[in-house]
Amino acid sequence: MTAADATGLRLPAEWEPHVATWLAWPHRRQTWIGPFDPIPGVYERLTRLIARHEPVRIIGSANVLADARSRLGDVAGIDLLPIATDDSWVRDTGPVILVRRPDAPATVPPRVAVCWNWNAWGGKYPPWRNDAAVARSIAARLGLPAREPGIVLEGGAIETDGNGTVLANERCVVDGRRNPGLDRDALAAAIRQWLGVDLVLWVGGELAGDDTDGHVDQLARFVAPGRVLAARQPDRSDPNHASLAANLERLAACRDARGRRLEVIPVDIPARFAFEGTQLPASHLNFFIANGLVVVPVFGAPTDEPALRILAECFPDRRIEPIDCRELVRGRGALHCITRDEVAGPAA
């Protein structure tokens, strides 16, 4: 793909209309610290909620899909698709779908799937052969042109406003285990080229226990062009306090691709959230936006209700649904990490 190939395409925001949501059904027990048995139930609850608003497409091998079918066979609008997986973080393994710009010529495809390389967050969790093929398999199922940049960029590592701006955390992109030999400038240029965006804003922050090296979907999320929610930890004794405070300052100094200074709204996250002494990356920022719906991770913490109120103010036209993620976060991720939005193109 050359720079010209991205002409006429853009990276849409998550709040734009979806054709469907994709999930990869959980089966890798060692992904979660502690018992695996509660995990499929969290996926079931999430699937049932989303299916009220848009179709859900679930991938996995035949035996994995048998469990999904036994739990969800009574739910309309769900497709079970035989695409083998190693793990269930389809946010990172699925394709990033670009859509044709309104002013683009008809020769530009309505939608294009960008299929990044995958190596399990810098080689942390072998095997990953099946997951490395997921993006291309989904693109083929959808009949979309597939573009392969040949570099690693996980879906949770980027966040867009749909208006030409991408947020990314340097720690999980400019990484020799993921992209050896490529510096920040080279990777920013690649993101702009392959995703049809104008500006990459490098943000910071990290959560203790986050094995992704700082995915931005735990730290800072657009809720509208020019408007960002950012994780905050006011408890100075918490290991997340300093890095999140510094990230808030960094974001407040940023301007987006249209020259707007970002409006940054802090969202407090649970303090010292742990399982059997291991701190986990519990963040309300790991929400997922579907058609008419926002599902928000909650953790039985004092920060739950304030976070839900902020999301309700940001999305007054959508239903705000909390989902208890105290079990799910034992895998070091939450709702955004396990979902992949399939956006609608102009022909959908």
Is 47 inside a domain boundary?
Answer: yes
6-44 per-position pLDDT tens digit: 789 999 999 999 999 999 999 999 999 999 999 999 999
> How many structural domains comprise the chain?
1
Q: What is the pLDDT of residue 2?
A: 46
Q: Which pTM was predicted?
A: 0.97
CA-to-CA distance for 203 and 120, rounded, in angstroms? 22
Q: What is the pLDDT of residue 346?
A: 83
Assess whether pLDDT exceeds 60 at residue 348.
Answer: no
172 is an active site residue: no
Average pLDDT, stretch 186-198? Answer: 97
Q: What is the pLDDT of residue 81?
A: 98
Is 58 inside a domain boundary?
Answer: yes
216-263 per-position pLDDT tens digit: 999 999 999 999 999 999 999 999 999 999 999 999 999 999 999 999
CA-to-CA distance for 45 and 62, rounded, in angstroms? 21
Q: What is the pLDDT of residue 3?
A: 45
Residue 172's domain spans which residues? 3-343
Evaluate whether 333 touches 294 at the Cβ level (below 8 Å): no
* Beta sheet of 96-100, edge-to-edge order: 9-10, 96-100, 111-114, 146-147
User: The CATH number of the domain where 178 resides is what?
Assistant: 3.75.10.10
Is 21 inside a domain boundary?
Answer: yes
125-161 per-position pLDDT tens digit: 999 999 999 999 999 999 999 999 999 999 999 999 9
Amino acid at the residue 140: A
DSSP string, 316-333: TTSEEEEEE-TTGGGGS-
Is residue 300 packed enough to be buried (19+ CB in 10 Å), middle (13-18) or exposed (0-12)?
A: exposed
Report residue 330 as tokens: 């034992």
Is 348 inside a domain boundary?
Answer: no
Assess whether pLDDT exceeds 50 at residue 1.
Answer: no
Q: What is the pLDDT of residue 6?
A: 72
Is 46 inside a domain boundary?
Answer: yes
